[in-house]
Structure 1
Amino acid sequence: MSQSSVEELLAELIAFDTTSHRSNLPLIEFIEDYLARFGVASRRIVDASGEKANLYATIGPKDRPGVMLSGHTDTVPVTGQAWSVDPYRLTVDGERLYGRGSADMKGFLAAVLAAVPAMVEADLAAPLHLAFSHDEEVGCLGVRSLLADLAQQPIRPAACVVGEPTSMRAATAHKGKLAVRLHLRGKACHSGMAPEGVNAIHTAARLVDWVADKAAEKAAAGPFDERFAITHTTLQVGTIQGGAALNIVPQDCQLDLEIRNIPEEDPEVLLDALMSLAASLEAEMREVHPDAGIRLERLSDYPGLSMADDDSLVDFIVALLDDHALERIGFGTEGGLFQHELGIPSLVCGPGNMAQGHQPDEFVTRDQLACCEAFLARLIAGLEGPQARRRLAEGALLSAEPT
């Protein structure tokens, strides 16, 4: 069995177009076959459509918790982006490796897969779990079935590292997100008879005003979390659509809005307040037309991530990194779900920078991949051998000074 290099594996992974609206099964099959070459069994968790799947594997002892390395397989589209290279073919230019997903986050997946032979050969005191998910880019949707699967297992991971791009620094916190769509249904009529209609856009504007006022209130009064560049919860309306013609009272209007909350604040409380106003407005609309109304559609949500800087997992991982600085990131990950839904302590650490993610000519550098390879090698060393077994018996395996 020959070991593939990180760059060879990255080229293989990038060649799969795993844009979120497409099936990821060809890539999952590739990973399954790759793992099987080294005697590693894996299991699929297939979605309801049968077109997408998560993949989970454990390397090392199966009768105890271990460290999970988590990454998503889907990418954002390239549609409308001006790429100077083929986005689905790895292009190497000096230190930079270009391709869709190279930074977000197939570079991490390639580094993990390249480390599998070393994981298999190691005398691990605690296992390494590999978790590959789908549909992260559209709201961390795919990982939900993996969470449900893990919740039914007698043993689940003791800790999780999500390999999103952080320039190989440990990120201990990110905000949560709640995205919703409001459908407003009024009553159309000729604009010359406007009082006989129900103007859906006018009602929507009152909801927009509430969102803007609440956003200003949060900016002024908090609560605040000083770990973030934007220290408070934010709210915004991202899109608004409605109306047919200037001389017709608009019957329909649609608002898309989001809440990006600091981990300490519950976005559902804000949504409840908004929907209380919506209920009041709906009652006014129905005084004119009984079929008028406001309907809520939830688009996506994920919780924030919040780990104490002195948590044993943070100490353990930071000791394995070249850069010991801690990060707080402005984008969401599946880490918050692992932490909140399953109680698995989680942090984010992976190669590359999100400044390159989602962009045309996305790239990761060779240096970043090398740093990730070094981290994984130290992680394997920290989990193997008599010293690790002793520390596991003492309940201190995820503490500082891992080797």
Structure 2
Amino acid sequence: MSAAKGKSFTPVELLARLVAFDTTSSKNNLGLIAFVEDYLAGHGVASRRIVSDDGQKSSLYATIGPDDEGGVALSGHTDVVPVDGQTWTSDPFTLRSEGGKLYGRGSADMKGFIASALAAVPSYKARKLKKPIHLAFSYDEEIGCIGVRPMIAELGKDLPKPRMVIVGEPTSMQVVDAHKGPVRWQVDVKGRAAHSSMAHLGVNAVTYATRLIGELERMEQELKQRVIDIRFEPPYSTLQVTKIDGGTATNIVPIGCTFVFDIRALPGLDPDEIETRLRRFAEKRCLPEMHEIAPEADIRIERVNAVPPFGAERKSEVVALALKLTGQNETYGVSYGTEAGLFQEAGAPAVVCGPGDIAQAHTADEWIAESQIAKCMDFLDRLGDWAET
């Protein structure tokens, strides 16, 4: 699906093309990247791929205006969540317009923003920009903000580093200057198998996994009583066991059990505190008993992914800019994670502001209001005004 050289598309037309690419995180996104590359080249904008190690996925970075550092980057992820198990009333990968709503997987999260940014390219090219506007499109955000990390590592090296970053996650075009940070761990418990009639000869991995889960539940209750920030819903850090698998047969003492838990941490909470406490509990309350019967028994706790909580600086330049561009005077906090914290850690202050409602993200019949696309285009047009000054 190529883009005609130099042809301008409306954001809705571009969204239809982007939605048509099934960029579920388990698949590659190279078709979409090639389309965007071709579209940008048609408007005289060079871009660079940052390819994954296996060559199956790629981020894309482009600069409009002065080929230099500074300016603002518009950040969006190209991947979407699966539609498996969901009941859609139409093809998830064919954009459908009805009643002022645009239905399709990724329409809200977050191809609506990418389409809007691409639709603004011809206008940006026609302007005499004094500050660059960068496009930073990543992959695998949905499974832990994976693809953006190699791209961020190139900022200030092979890629011009933006002065500020606007992450276009769906915020209904409200300015978000803080979000929680998702951190995920996997716990593997190894016991010793035995016939269930001779249970005293074995070490039940499921039993000890439940002890660890009980400790996590105690920590969860404590977190509810700790730092309360009413800007978030819920107003505290959350901790949940999200997956568990153990045992081999009903008449065998389970030799293994694995579970996964995650925390959505408020800005300021150190996830190391959670991990340290669980390790201490394992070492003092579980392993000594396990080793009395099975010296080979073990508990492994591995952090498998972490996205930092995001909190903009009190006098953040990019937050002030976003408020000016939206005409708002209030910022918000959200409970979902984004790439903003990663950009900020790399020295590129960020803000989150984009079209669509997060309530529609990941759902069957995901949709974005056409009015939200229009608001985003107005926002991007005013950004162009700012970049000309």
Shorter-chain TM-score tier: over 0.9
Q: After the TM superposition, which residues 1-400 of structure 1 pair with which residues of structure 2 at under 5 Å, given as runs?
A: 1-150=6-155, 152-153=157-158, 155-220=160-225, 222-280=226-284, 281-308=286-313, 310-340=315-345, 342-384=346-388, 388=389
Q: Secondary structure at the match of 2:155?
A: helix
Query: Do 2:72 and 2:162's aligned partners in 1 also have CA atoms closer than 8 Å?
Result: yes
User: Could you tell me how far 1:7 is from its partner in structure 2?
Assistant: 0.8
Structure 1 window deviating more from structure 2 (144-153 vs 373-382): it is: 144-153
What one-letter code is carried by the residue in structure 2 that aligns with 1:138? I
What's the TM-score once normalised by structure 1's chain length?
0.92
In structure 2, distance between residues paired with 1:59 and 1:187? 61
User: Could you tell me how far 1:244 is from its partner in structure 2?
Assistant: 2.5
What one-letter code is carried by the residue in structure 2 that aligns with 1:215? E
In structure 1, distance between residues paired with 2:14 and 2:329? 28
Structure 1 window deviating more from structure 2 (270-279 vs 374-383): it is: 270-279
Distance 1:41 1:177, change over 3 A: same
Query: Do 2:180 and 2:336's aligned partners in 1 also have CA atoms closer than 8 Å?
Result: yes
User: Could you tell me how far 1:310 is from its partner in structure 2?
Assistant: 4.4
Query: Do 2:7 and 2:42's aligned partners in 1 also have CA atoms closer than 8 Å?
Result: no
In structure 2, distance between residues paired with 1:100 and 1:230? 27
What one-letter code is carried by the residue in structure 1 that aligns with 2:195? H
Query: Do 1:69 and 1:160's aligned partners in 2 also have CA atoms closer than 8 Å?
Result: yes
Structure 1 window deviating more from structure 2 (230-239 vs 253-262): it is: 230-239
What one-letter code is carried by the residue in structure 2 that aligns with 1:247? N
Query: Do 1:172 and 1:309's aligned partners in 2 also have CA atoms closer than 8 Å?
Result: no
Query: Do 1:168 and 1:323's aligned partners in 2 also have CA atoms closer than 8 Å?
Result: no
What's the TM-score once normalised by structure 2's chain length?
0.95
In structure 2, distance between residues paired with 1:137 and 1:335? 14
Question: How many correspondences in the alignment?
Answer: 383
Name the Cα RMSD after superposition. Answer: 1.4
Q: What is the aligned-residue identity percentage?
A: 47
Query: Do 2:181 and 2:266's aligned partners in 1 also have CA atoms closer than 8 Å?
Result: yes
Q: Secondary structure at the match of 1:320?
A: helix
Query: Do 2:172 and 2:356's aligned partners in 1 also have CA atoms closer than 8 Å?
Result: yes
Alpha-carbon deviations, 1:118-139, whole Å to 9, x = none? 1111111110010000000011
Distance 1:314 1:14, change over 3 A: same
User: Could you tell me how far 1:278 is from its partner in structure 2?
Assistant: 2.2
- Unmatched tracts of structure 1, length 5 or more: 389-403
User: Could you tell me how far 1:348 is from its partner in structure 2?
Assistant: 0.6
User: Could you tell me how far 1:311 is from its partner in structure 2?
Assistant: 2.4
Alpha-carbon deviations, 1:292-332, whole Å to 9, x = none? 11123333210011014642221111111155442211210
In structure 2, distance between residues paired with 1:215 and 1:185? 25
In structure 1, distance between residues paired with 2:113 and 2:159? 28
In structure 2, distance between residues paired with 1:173 and 1:165? 14
What one-letter code is carried by the residue in structure 1 that aligns with 2:57? K
User: Could you tell me how far 1:213 is from its partner in structure 2?
Assistant: 0.5
Q: Secondary structure at the match of 2:326?
A: coil
In structure 1, distance between residues paired with 2:126 and 2:288? 67
User: Could you tell me how far 1:269 is from its partner in structure 2?
Assistant: 2.0
Q: Secondary structure at the match of 2:359?
A: coil
